Structure 1
Amino acid sequence: MLEKLHATIQAIRPAIQADNGDIELRGFDEDTGVVTVELTGACVSCPASTVTLKAGVERILKDRVPGVTAVEAVGMGLESESVVSL
């Protein structure tokens, strides 16, 4: 399974790199089918990165790798955001 995930990510990478970004596979939860990736470079500040992740990367991985249910990004600063009560 991991080999197929790596191969698919490698097939996707050139398109993301063409826009000065990059993607790395960070993990796969076999129980839930969730793939974790890290988007870097221009993807970090790009407002369309969520669309790229869901409409592009997730769709391709679901089509090519049986068992994939979702794709989530890490390392984009999202985990450090917090809700502030006033």
Structure 2
Amino acid sequence: MMPFTDEDLQAPVSSIIKEKIAPMLARDGGAIELLDIKNARVFVQLQGACVGCSASSSTLKFVVEKELKAAIHPELEIVNVPHGMEDKLQEL
């Protein structure tokens, strides 16, 4: 069971994405945006060179999700939000 509320998760998740993940992606021309956190599901959107990259799903699972699980809580889940679906998170 997740011991944190979605509001509790906002600051640490945002910090890790901004300080660790975003700089790594930027080196390859990519970017990541934290859109929302709902029920321990972290909704992000890849941008720049990451859009359409064949390694993007691996990056999300084995870099972003792994980092967040290790640093915050093992029950966190990353959800990639396709462009155009930003207002339909409940459908993902």
Query: TM tier, shorter chain?
Result: 0.7 to 0.9
Q: Which of 61, 72, 75 lines up with 2:82 in the alignment?
A: 75
Structure 1 stretch 44-53 or stretch 62-71: which is displaced more? 62-71
Find the residue that maps to 2:50 and give its secondary structure: helix
1:1-40 alignment to 2 at 5 Å?
1-10=9-18, 11-29=20-38, 31=39, 33-40=40-47
**RMSD in angstroms over aligned alpha carbons?**
1.9
Change (3 A) 1:13 1:61: same
For 1:6, the aligned partner's letter is: S
Count residues in correspondence: 77
Structure 1: which 5+ residue stretches go unaligned? 79-86
Which structure has the larger Rg? 1
Change (3 A) 1:61 1:42: same
Q: Match for residue 3 of structure 2?
A: none
Task: Note the C-alpha offset of 1:34.
Answer: 0.9
TM-score (norm 2): 0.74
Q: Deviation string for 1:29-67 (max 9, x for gaps)?
A: 1x3x11000100111120000000001100001111226
TM-score (norm 1): 0.79
Sequence identity, in percent? 36
Change (3 A) 1:16 1:73: same
Q: Match for residue 88 of structure 2?
A: none
Structure 2: which 5+ residue stretches go unaligned? 1-8, 86-92
